[in-house]
Structures are given as C-alpha cells and as structure tokens.
Chain A
Amino acid sequence: MLFLQYFISGILTGGIYGLIGVAIVIIYKATEVFNFAVGALMTFCALICVSLLTDFNLPFWLAVPLSLVLAGVLGAIVERAGLRPLLAQPILTLIMATLAIESILRGVMLSIWTGYTISFPKGLLPGKTIFLGPLFIPHEFLYAFVVAMVTFGLVGLFFYKTQTGLKMRVTAESHEVAMALGVNITRIFAFTWMLAVMVGALAGIFLGNRLGLQVIITSSIAFKALPAIIFGGLDSVAGAILGGFIVGVLEKMAGGYIDPKVAEITPYIILLLILLVRPEGLFGKKRIERI
C-alpha cells in the first residue's frame, strides 16, 4: 500500500518535472541552447500569476491565461535581448548567457516580490485532498497532472498539425535545411522560446499552488528536471515526459524507503548514473563526431 502511495505521488510530481523538462527540450531541439534559466522564468511567471490574482483581484480562470500571454512576451524578450546576439556561439557562451539571464531575473524577482515565500490564495482549485482508503492524493497535484497531460497533448498537436510546428521540427532537424526551405529560423527561435516559457509557466503556477513560491527555492526545483531530460535523451520530447515520471517516482521511493533527506539528492544521483552509463539517454540521438 505504501508502495502505491509513493508511486502515485511520484507520478504526480513527475508530471511537473516532465513539464519543466519539455520546456527545456523544445528550446534545446530548435536552438541548441540549453536553458538553465528555466527555473527563474517559471518562477517569474508564477509570481506574475499570483500578483494578478491578489493585487489585481482577477479570477483564476482569467489570471492563468493572462499570465501565460505575459510568459510568452517574457520568452520573446529574453530570446531577442539575450540569445539572438549570441547565435551560433560556443556552448560555454550559451550556458553562461542563460545563467546570466537567470541571475538578472532572480534579481528582478527579489526586488519586486522580496525573498519571502509567497502563496497563492487558498481554495483556488475546487475540491480537497482525496482519500482513497489508506491512500491520499493532493488535489492540486491531480490538477497539475491533468494539465500536464493536456499540455503534452497540445504541444504534440502543435508540432504535428500546424504550419509553425512543422517549421519548428525542420529547424530542430537542421538549421541549414530549414533556411534552404525558406523558414525564417530566427522567428522560429522566438516562437520556440515563447512556447517553452509558457509551458514552464504552467509548471510554475501548479507547483506554486501546492508548495508556495520562494524565489530561490522554486527556481532550484527546476534543476530536478535535468535528470528527467537526460534520462529520456536531451533531444526527445517524449523522453522528457517519461523521464519526468521515472525521476518523480524514484525520488518519492527513495524518500519513503530510505530517508526523506535522501529524496533531495536522488535526482542528482540518478543524473550522475545515467551520465556514466548511457549519456545519450533512452531515446536521444547518439552523436557521431567528425573532425
């Protein structure tokens, strides 16, 4: 029974890791930038959502779409100001650029929302924690899980059914081919960032609903999504989702069976093990290098 409890809570948190993972992977696939700023971006958007709810007294159903729109704008700004001037630079430059953006966003967040924990208003999501015999399921995470699933579906539809999605996929395949086919790849980069930040914002909003938002702590939760995407392969969206579930479950299992403190670093131990054994992950492309 305990096993089932850990399994369920693992799957539910795994859904959020999967969302964060997808936000990282779509940017990596299209632009070959590894976005270390995803945690700060996601916290920023979630804090915007809280402010819309509490300071502007908007209803929940309006505040979420509005903060998603603002997330898109934020993504576009970050791409235009920070990453566009650094097209085709070496890896370290790109990593450092996203880390610098993370630092700037963190500073802005600390200035606006201070370093204290900020909670969403209570009772935004109808219902309460579900008890199924000995099992309990936090309803916020259940909503988060459903939203994550719907988002995965929508992102999939977007990639496979729309013109822009098609352009994104060809850009991910090869920048040269995309340009030869007449795709304006800088515009696709901007779209990709907007989409990714929106997906990240959803993760931030649902995470904050359950745990509250603290600038530094919430941002660092995003790092737990790294093992998820490495597990599935850095360039596989489906892999990121599956990896999210696996990391979530393993984290809860380690926390439950060994020691709650071990849960904090379980994702990173998994990360090291995957990197040592199978760096390209489950579904990732194995790189062949030429000199």
Chain B
Amino acid sequence: MWRPCGAIDDTYEKDLAIVRTRLQWGGMLAGLIALFLMPYYVSGVTLNTVNHIAITIVALHGVNILTGMTGLITLGQAAFMAVGAYSMTLMIEFWGWSFWAAVPVATLITGLVGIVVGLPSIRIKGFYLAMATLAAQFIIPWVIMNVRPDLTGGTDTITVPAPSLGGFKFISQESIFYICMTVAVLVTYFTRNLQRSRFGRAFVAIRDNDLAAEIMGIGIIRYKLLSFFLCSLYAGLAGCLYAIWMRGLSVEHFTLNESIWYLGMLIVGGMGSVPGVVFGAVLIRGLNILVLYIGPYVGNYFDAATATAIELGMGPIVFGLVVLGFLIFEPRGLARIFERFKAFYRIWPFSY
C-alpha cells in the first residue's frame, strides 16, 4: 500500500510494519516532536482547543470501532463519556483515590456499562439498535441527575480536583496537554493495530454481513459485545480526560447533540478509517471554533437580539451542511481524499 516502488519487503516484520520507509519514519518522528513541543509555540487559547480535539479523538476512535468497523450505530457516546467522567470524579472525591488509580477503574466501569447497553445488539441492528443506544443516551444522564443527587450534584456543576504526580499539579493547559495528547497518540496507535488484528477483521466481517460472518465461524455475539466494550472503554477514558480538562462536570456537557456530533465527525473523516478519525475531529472542532470567531462579524449586520440568535444558530447549520455535503459528495470522507492525494503525489508527474 502506498509505497514507492523499489522498497521490497524481505522479512515478515517489514511486511507487517505500519511505518515502512525511512522517509515515513523521519516524518513521523518530526511530526511527533513538533506535536509535543506545541505548548512552546502556540497560545493558551489554541492549546485549549487542541486539548479538546485530543479528547474528541479518543472518544471518536471508540465510535469508529463500534460504528465504523462493526457497523453498529451508536447515538450514546456522550452518555458513556459521562459515565467515565462521573465515576472517576466520585472515586477521587469520596474514596480519596488518586487520579491515576481512578482512571483505569472508571474506564473499566464504563466498558461494563457499554456491554449492558450493547445487549440488545444480539437481537437487533440498524435503526433498532440506534434507538436502543438513543434510549441509553436519555437514561444515563437521568440516572446521574436523579438517583444520588447528593453525590453527583444533580443538575449542578461539580468540581473535579486536579490530578497530581509527586507534588506537581496538572492545572495549566500545558500540563493537561501532555496527558491528553499522550493518551490520544497511544490510543490512535492501539486502534490502528487493533484494526489489522484478528479482532479488527472480525469486526469488519460483521459490518459487511453479520450472517455471513457467523457462518464463517466468527462468534458474532462475542464480537459485537466486545466492540461495545471497546467503544465505551474509549468513551470512559475520554470522559476522564474531559473531566480534568473542564475541571467541572455537569450533565449538560453530555447531551444527545454531542453524540450526534461524534457520528458526524466520523462521516466527515471517513468511516472505519483511523486517520479519518483524526481528520474528522480536527475539521469539525476547528470549524466550530471558526464559527465562534466569525459569528460576531456576521452579527454586526443585524441588531443585537438577532445577532445573538444567529451566532447561536450558525454552529448547527454549518455542522449539518458539512455533514450532508460529505454524505452526498464524498461519502468516504476526508480519509478518501487523503488517499487520493497520496496516490496522486506518489505518481506525480507521470500519472500512468
């Protein structure tokens, strides 16, 4: 795949490698170094956005595994994030756990909740499954708000204590950047390998035709539940990061709308593609920031009340138009455009 000619694999290890040529190695290392030096050359506001994008990427990889690879539509990713964020915060607040111990446990709890929500997927798929996850998206925030409001703060915002390591407190955007970005890079690497493994191939087989996959000996119940488990595992991790990034939690942050945005990012990036996840998250979050900046300029042409209304409405309009445009004109998303660009670049200037 997309290699210059003349690079011949003479060992299995080389054939399996993701990064194949010396140029790609160089590019990747330079890219990673540039990425992790980011706090030194961008402003705090930008870094804030970058952190949000990194968290989004983690959650979106989960959606990609469930929806992109396995073909099970989820409208509940934000609710799963809420499970992770709240269970982590409660463990820190009431059991006095440290952040580093609470995160894995909270992630695991979210994974188990995901399996429970995924149970209907044994019998149903398509629209029906979308509705089952939609039900979870309504039920989970309700449980958080109403079952133990004394612990979760009900509809109020609760504060999240900053994680600390050996006396150092992760409060500034720079320090949180290192946590979020490290997790995002590791999760991307893990997902890329998962996709090429036995599990990833089984997921894709289920997506393409679950009956055929079952006949070929793939235990579809096991793999569907595993897919749900992984998806919510990622969501739980993203939820923990979100909690320390926001430093305050409210169920208002984990709405159905947010879940829909994740699906939209997946469409824009390219279904089932790992680089696509990164593209989709960057494009949609970036556009949202752009709209926030442009909004006041557009509002200048109207009176004050109309201006605020328009600024409020522009985000959803732009999101909807972009997603609809991608669905109609480039259903395989930015990942496909990227592939085409690479193919073009490789054979340029001799396009035969």
Residue in A86, A115, A230, A276 whose CB lies within 8 Å of B309: A115
Q: In the complex, what distance in Å separates the CA atom of A210 from the CA atom of B88?
A: 42
Q: Is the interface of A mostly helix, strand, loop or mixed?
A: helix
Residues of A within 8 A of B73 (CB): 91-92, 95
**Given known A93-B331, A96-B267, contact A34–B127 (CB-CB < 8 A):** yes
Q: In the complex, what distance in Å separates the CA atom of A279 from the CA atom of B130?
A: 13
> Which chain A residues numbered 91 to 116 have a C-beta less than 8 Å away from chain B?
91-93, 95-97, 99-115
Contact B131–A99 (Cβ < 8 Å): no
**B138 vs chain A, min Cβ distance (A):** 5
Q: In the complex, what distance in Å separates the CA atom of A127 from the CA atom of B126?
A: 46
Contact B305–A114 (Cβ < 8 Å): yes
Contact B139–A103 (Cβ < 8 Å): no
Contact A111–B310 (Cβ < 8 Å): yes
Indicate if B317 sits at the interface (CB-CB under 8 A).
yes
> Which chain A residues numbered 263 to 277 have a C-beta less than 8 Å away from chain B?
264-265, 268-269, 271-272, 275-276
Contact A269–B313 (Cβ < 8 Å): no
Q: In the complex, what distance in Å separates the CA atom of A102 from the CA atom of B128?
A: 19
Q: In the complex, what distance in Å separates the CA atom of A109 from the CA atom of B314?
A: 10
Count of B residues near A, CB < 8 Å? 50
Residues of B within 8 A of A105 (CB): 320
Contact B124–A279 (Cβ < 8 Å): yes
Residue in B134, B260, B318 whose CB lies within 8 Å of A226: B134
Q: In the complex, what distance in Å separates the CA atom of A261 from the CA atom of B147?
A: 10
Residues of A within 8 A of B316 (CB): 103-104, 106-107, 110
Indicate if A20 sits at the interface (CB-CB under 8 A).
no
Kindly count the residue-residue contacts between A and B in the assembled complex, taking CB atoms under 8 Å apart.
141
Indicate if A85 sits at the interface (CB-CB under 8 A).
yes
Residues of B within 8 A of A82 (CB): 324
Contact A99–B264 (Cβ < 8 Å): yes
Count of A residues near B, CB < 8 Å? 45
Q: In the complex, what distance in Å separates the CA atom of A68 from the CA atom of B241?
A: 47
Q: In the complex, what distance in Å separates the CA atom of A261 from the CA atom of B155?
A: 13
Q: In the complex, what distance in Å separates the CA atom of A99 from the CA atom of B323?
A: 9
**A164 vs chain B, min Cβ distance (A):** 26
Indicate if A55 sits at the interface (CB-CB under 8 A).
no
Contact B314–A103 (Cβ < 8 Å): no
Q: In the complex, what distance in Å separates the CA atom of A34 from the CA atom of B123?
A: 19
**A254 vs chain B, min Cβ distance (A):** 13
Residue in A107, A220, A230, A261 whose CB lies within 8 Å of B313: A107
Contact B123–A264 (Cβ < 8 Å): no
Residues of A within 8 A of B310 (CB): 111
Indicate if A181 sits at the interface (CB-CB under 8 A).
no
Indicate if B120 sits at the interface (CB-CB under 8 A).
yes
Indicate if A180 sits at the interface (CB-CB under 8 A).
no
Contact B124–A275 (Cβ < 8 Å): yes
Q: Is the interface of B mostly helix, strand, loop or mixed?
A: helix
Residue in A34, A110, A268 whose CB lies within 8 Å of B135: A268
Select from chain B the residue with minimum beta-carbon distance to A229: B131
Residues of A within 8 A of B67 (CB): 92
Residues of B within 8 A of A234 (CB): 127-128
> Which chain B residues numbered 294 to 308 have a C-beta less than 8 Å away from chain A?
305-306, 308
Residues of B within 8 A of A223 (CB): 134, 138
Closest 5 A/B residue pairs (Cβ): A107-B317, A111-B313, A104-B320, A103-B320, A107-B316
**B306 vs chain A, min Cβ distance (A):** 8
Contact B321–A104 (Cβ < 8 Å): yes
Q: In the complex, what distance in Å separates the CA atom of A25 from the CA atom of B190?
A: 42
Indicate if B238 sits at the interface (CB-CB under 8 A).
no
**Given known A96-B263, A111-B309, contact A272–B135 (CB-CB < 8 A):** yes
In the complex, 30 of the A-B residue pairs with CB atoms within 8 angstroms, ordered by the A residue number, are A34-B130, A86-B327, A89-B327, A89-B331, A91-B127, A92-B71, A93-B267, A93-B331, A97-B324, A100-B264, A100-B323, A100-B324, A102-B260, A103-B317, A104-B320, A107-B313, A107-B320, A111-B313, A114-B312, A115-B312, A223-B134, A230-B131, A234-B127, A261-B146, A264-B142, A271-B135, A272-B132, A275-B124, A275-B132, A291-B215
Indicate if B328 sits at the interface (CB-CB under 8 A).
yes
Question: B135-146 interface mask toward A, CB cutoff 8 Å, 1 = contact, 0 = none?
Answer: 110110010001
Contact A95–B139 (Cβ < 8 Å): no
Indicate if B315 sits at the interface (CB-CB under 8 A).
yes
Select from chain A the residue with minimum beta-carbon distance to B121: A275
Contact B131–A271 (Cβ < 8 Å): yes
Contact A96–B264 (Cβ < 8 Å): yes
Residues of A within 8 A of B215 (CB): 291
**A88 vs chain B, min Cβ distance (A):** 12
Residues of B within 8 A of A104 (CB): 316-317, 320-321, 324
**Given known A95-B127, A289-B211, contact A275–B120 (CB-CB < 8 A):** yes
